């Protein structure tokens, strides 16, 4: 039987064996979890965006308060009953919005009582699904340990869905393109958010896992005898979690599914949905989406936004956000802490180059409906924030942050990787040299962003070059900033070396590499 172009490419991926036997999904998970966990330890307690509100919400949800006592009106906070050491978390943010103030100004969490105490949270009417998991450590421990445990649980969740993403990516016809796109999508901002108590990162990684596993399921179905049911199950679980993460998550779910339809066309999608595995996947996604909509209307989740009204008209706000579209790209790469830690220009220069290269390739190397989908995603990244901001400008003012649409940015990157399957991946000595240099700079850039953030919290960013002062800093993260940085660099170097071997490896005739799955 004559194989199609896509089937031949998939056969090549199976011969390549993904990351080969030494890099199973478990090894990929361990690598990703280690990177995220080090961000969790390097970031001071309550130094992530709205982490106080999410921690309080999580502690309340696992104690049977998924909604709490809501106030009235837009932006009203919910009152809940939580342990005292959780209720006093907002007091640990003395460094918030002040880059010159170090984390030494905040005391530990364990100094407060565990007695039930009334606390307020701006996340009170958010979907409780994520918080049922993130809040579990509050039932088992207290003090500083509980915050780190909540972060590590979130890190494990995010690492799991990222592993599903790369597992599916390595089995696609355009595997190496998609893997490169996925690596570019792992910006410092994504790793940082994944290490915090915040459902923002979970919606990003579940969007990625949903899209890549749907694509892998369709492609594997086209190849006789190739298993595809596990990819559809992974897509169903990812989509179900995504649907119940945040108020806008259903938009990302629809965008991911529509992206698959535009690449593979309606007939291929309908064919796989009629299979038993496809019917189960559809039922799970529809049920989860219905549950999400029910909570959205029951709890008025969109009424929890806070801000100060502005005299700017919606039309002016829309045009202003259009002009800000490119400045928001910094927040896709990394504006850390409470959005108060701007990274060095060199970090942004490198990541802007990588993002532009992948996104432009997604437009230039595709055609037909696949290109329409790529252009639509790029347009949505610009237009959606402008439209949403314009709707609330008079009531809340300018509240939009780049991380709110980061799930769509990651989806666009992965979409471009999948859609360019008919373009051969570069090979040869020159390509191998380019891969080596780019991966080296990638590692250095990640490490620079990591240690720069540690500098912000150990000695502050006062406009002077104060790197040496870090050796006598009054605040130190868990394990010390020196050890964390060395470990972070070591894990990145290991991951980069494995990735380089995967990208430049040419399968030998008769090779017997072991598939990832």
In which element (H, E) is residue 262 found?
helix 249-273
- 330-349 pLDDT, tens digit per residue, is 999 999 999 999 999 999 99
Query: Among residues of the chain, what percentage have pLDDT more than 90?
Result: 71
pLDDT at 484 over 80: yes
pLDDT of 83 reads 93
Structure-derived torsion over alpha carbons of residues 387, 389, 392, 397, reported in degrees to the nearest 10 = -150
Q: What is the pTM of this model?
A: 0.92
Closest CA to 205 of 154, 170, 277, 136: 154
* CA 101/CA 97 separation, integer angstroms: 9
**Residue 41 structure tokens:** 């330890």
Strands 78-83 and 69-70, by their bridges, are antiparallel
Contact 221, 271 (CB under 8 A): yes
Closest CA to 84 of 119, 115, 40, 58: 115
pLDDT of 3 reads 46
Among the listed ranges 193-197, 458-462, 504-508, which one has the minimum average pLDDT value?
Answer: 504-508
- 161-205 pLDDT, tens digit per residue, is 999 999 999 999 899 999 999 999 999 999 999 999 999 999 999
- 222-275 pLDDT, tens digit per residue, is 776 667 889 999 999 999 999 999 989 999 999 999 999 999 988 788 888 889
pLDDT at 55 over 90: yes
pLDDT of 462 reads 87
Backbone angles phi, psi at 511, to 5 degrees: -65, 155
Q: Which residues pair with 469 in a beta bridge?
A: none
Closest CA to 328 of 418, 255, 376, 388: 388
Q: Which residues pair with 120 in a beta bridge?
A: 79
* CA 18/CA 498 separation, integer angstroms: 11
pLDDT of 195 reads 97
pLDDT of 241 reads 98
Neighbours of 474 (CB within 10 A): 10
pLDDT of 304 reads 65
- Looking at 302-428, list the stretches that DSSP marks H as alpha helix, in order from N- to C-terminal side: 314-323, 329-333, 345-364, 368-396, 406-419
pLDDT at 157 over 80: yes
- 361-411 pLDDT, tens digit per residue, is 999 999 899 999 999 999 999 999 999 999 988 888 898 999 999 999 999
- 406-448 pLDDT, tens digit per residue, is 999 999 999 999 999 888 888 888 889 999 999 999 999 999 9
* CA 57/CA 299 separation, integer angstroms: 14
pLDDT at 112 over 70: no
- 4-27 pLDDT, tens digit per residue, is 555 555 565 555 554 443 358 899
pLDDT at 76 over 50: yes
Closest CA to 47 of 212, 250, 193: 193
pLDDT at 449 over 70: yes
CA distance to 319, 325, 335, 370, 399, per residue, from 309 (Å): 18, 22, 25, 41, 10
């Amino acid at each position: 039987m004559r194989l199609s172009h896509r089937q031949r490419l998939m056969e090549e991926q199976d011969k390549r064996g993904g990351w080969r036997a030494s890099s199973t999904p478990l090894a990929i998970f361990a690598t990703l979890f280690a990177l995220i966990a080090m961000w969790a330890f390097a970031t001071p307690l309550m130094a992530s965006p709205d982490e106080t509100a999410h921690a309080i919400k999580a502690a309340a949800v696992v104690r049977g308060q998924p909604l709490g006592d809501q106030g009235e009106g837009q932006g009203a906070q919910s009152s809940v009953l939580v342990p005292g050491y959780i209720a006093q978390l907002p007091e640990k943010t003395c460094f918030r919005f002040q880059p010159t103030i170090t984390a030494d100004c905040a005391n530990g969490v364990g100094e407060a009582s565990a007695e039930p105490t009334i606390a307020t949270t701006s996340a009170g009417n958010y979907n409780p699904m994520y918080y049922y998991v993130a809040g579990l450590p509050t039932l088992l421990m207290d003090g500083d340990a509980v915050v780190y445990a909540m972060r590590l649980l979130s890190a494990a969740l995010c690492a799991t869905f990222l592993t599903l993403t790369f597992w599916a990516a390595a089995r696609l016809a355009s595997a190496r393109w998609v893997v490169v796109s996925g690596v570019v999508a792992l910006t410092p901002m994504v790793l940082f958010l994944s290490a915090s108590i915040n459902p923002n990162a979970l919606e990003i990684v579940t969007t990625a896992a949903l899209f890549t596993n749907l694509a892998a399921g369709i492609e594997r179905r086209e190849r006789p005898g190739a298993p595809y049911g596990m990819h559809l199950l992974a897509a169903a679980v990812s989509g179900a979690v995504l649907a119940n993460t945040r108020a806008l998550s259903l938009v990302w779910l629809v965008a991911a599914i529509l992206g698959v339809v535009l690449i593979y066309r309606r007939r291929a999608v309908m064919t796989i949905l009629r299979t038993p595995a496809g019917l189960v996947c559809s039922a799970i996604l529809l049920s989860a989406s219905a549950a999400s909509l029910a909570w959205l209307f029951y709890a008025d989740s969109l009424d929890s936004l806070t801000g100060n009204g502005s005299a700017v008209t919606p039309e002016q706000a829309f045009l202003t956000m259009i002009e800000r579209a490119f400045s928001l790209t910094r927040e896709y790469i990394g504006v850390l802490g409470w959005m108060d830690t701007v990274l060095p220009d060199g970090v942004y220069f490198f990541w802007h180059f990588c993002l532009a290269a992948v996104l432009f390739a997604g437009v230039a190397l595709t055609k037909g409906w696949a290109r329409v989908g790529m252009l639509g995603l790029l347009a949505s990244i610009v237009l959606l924030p402008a439209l949403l901001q314009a709707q609330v400008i008079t009531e809340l003012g300018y509240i939009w942050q780049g991380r709110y649409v980061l799930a769509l940015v990651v989806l666009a990157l992965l979409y471009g990787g999948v859609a360019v399957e008919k373009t051969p991946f570069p090979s040869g000595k020159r390509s191998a040299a380019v891969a080596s240099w780019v991966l080296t700079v990638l590692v250095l850039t990640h490490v620079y962003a990591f240690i720069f953030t540690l500098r912000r919290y150990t000695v502050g960013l006062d406009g002077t070059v104060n790197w040496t002062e870090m050796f006598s800093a009054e605040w130190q993260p868990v394990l010390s900033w020196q050890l964390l940085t060395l470990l972070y660099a070591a894990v990145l170097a290991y991951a980069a070396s494995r990735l380089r071997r995967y990208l430049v490896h040419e399968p030998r005739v008769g090779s017997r590499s072991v598939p990832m799955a």
